[in-house]
Amino acid sequence: MIEDSISYLRTSGKHVIFDAEHFFDGYKANPKYSMEVLSAAVKGGAEWIVLCDTNGGSIPSFIGSTTRKVTDTIDVPVGIHCHNDSELAVACSLAAVENGARMVQGTINGLGERCGNANLCSVIPDLMLKMNYSIPSVDLSKLTLMSKFVSETANTGLLSSQPYVGDKAFAHKGGMHVSAMSKDTKTYEHVEPGTVGNKRKILISDMSGRASVTEKLREMNIAVDRDESRKIADHIKNMEAEGYQYEGADASFQLLVKRLTNNHERPFNITGFRLFIDDIGNNKLSSEASVKVIDRFGNEEHTASDGDGPVNALDNALRKALSKFYPVLNNIKLSDYKVRVLDEKAATAAPVRVLIRSTDGKDSWSTVGVSTNVIEASMIALSDSIEYAILKDEKNRGV
């Protein structure tokens, strides 16, 4: 049936790739019959034979040795198709290539049924950077951009710990760690981040020493002297003792540095705000926020806005008030909001950390706020986010 089907397609002018589904499990059960199936596909005119680890349960050594038996037996190109049910899809794909396979089937970010398919965002750089294969049509420097585009389009979110393209792939923290990095990046990076379109990130935490702060400031193109970097490092440790964490809040960190090292003038001040929560029946609540703000020139604005919840109402009211002074805020929206309780034993009296991610449609940034009052913590993070957006816009316009 396989031979007849492929022969029919070929005589109809079609190109045929034969995907041998369940091949490796079939080979374990009956190697002679499995090889006869491939021979029938070749006889019918298949231009490629693709070996599939459909259940994702094989290990690289078995994939490699079996692929070698196939490539030594048939005289058409061989491909590999692996699923990731054993977290080995990438390793198995590379093992197949080492043993003669010349097509790798996979997906961007490893998307796929069950545990996914072989992740091409790992397979491609592994082949090019580790195994010295040339793939002329691939521009590796756009790999991270492609990965993020696919995750946004599929609305799946990009795993931050994903190799090569994840936000944590080239992230470093800890004083000795960063100090070593400043001397030789190869100590903690297996490839240059820019090779795959990613960026090095220095994370600021309670593990950070002066070396971490200095390297982070260099990354941000902020020049400070030795005393200032020590002052910043000490201040960060004090803030983290209160519950702040700057690892995932670069925007708040930049604002903190400006406030500690420059004669920084905030573009606005919040002079007061109120929240109103009303029961509108049917087990539903409505939220309204009222905010007073003054810009750096003394202009005052007082406005209110509704929202899906108290934080959303505050966000809407704050941006509504300030957008009259800073129109760029009309393009800003909150894209993520996270709350973490810092002391579970304190129950409802526990301090909370609020982490907010905002975007202007092109770039995104994160800010943090901490308080025993979740609304106050949210306002701190929201205020930082908006201030960062304003300063970013003014810098871009040369103001």
* pLDDT tens per residue, range 113-128: 999 999 999 999 999 9
Q: Is the pLDDT of residue 341 over 90?
A: no
Q: Are 200 and 193 in contact (CB under 8 A)?
A: yes
pLDDT, position 349:
60
pLDDT, mean over the chain? 88
At 18, the pLDDT band (50, 70, 90 cuts) reads very high
Domains of the chain: 2-154 (3.20.20.70), 171-240 (no CATH), 268-396 (3.30.160.270)
Q: Decide if pLDDT at 215 tops 70.
A: no
Mean pLDDT of 260-269: 84
Least confident residue range of 155-159, 291-295, 388-392: 155-159
Q: What is the pLDDT of residue 44?
A: 97
**pLDDT at residue number 228:** 77
Gap between the Cα atoms of 73 and 35, Å rounded: 9
- Cα separation, 12 vs 362, whole angstroms: 48
Give, rounded to a whole angstrom, the gap between the first and last alpha carbons of the chain.
73
Question: With bands split at pLDDT 50, 70 and 90, how would you rate the model's confidence at 162?
Answer: very high
Give the model's confidence band at 345: pLDDT under 50 very low, under 70 low, under 90 confident, else very high. Answer: low
Instruction: Return the structure tokens found at 139.
Output: 């521009």
**Which long-range contacts (C-beta less than 8 Å, at least 24 apart) are formed by 354-361?**
354/378, 354/380, 354/381, 355/248, 355/249, 355/381, 356/381, 356/382, 356/385, 358/332, 358/333, 358/334, 358/385, 358/388, 358/389, 359/332, 359/333, 359/335, 360/328, 360/331, 360/332, 360/389, 361/331
pLDDT band of residue 38 (cuts 50, 70, 90) is: very high
Report the interhelical angle of 226-241 vs 250-261 (nearest 10°).
Answer: 130
Backbone phi and psi for residue 4, each to the nearest 5 degrees, phi listed first = -65, -40
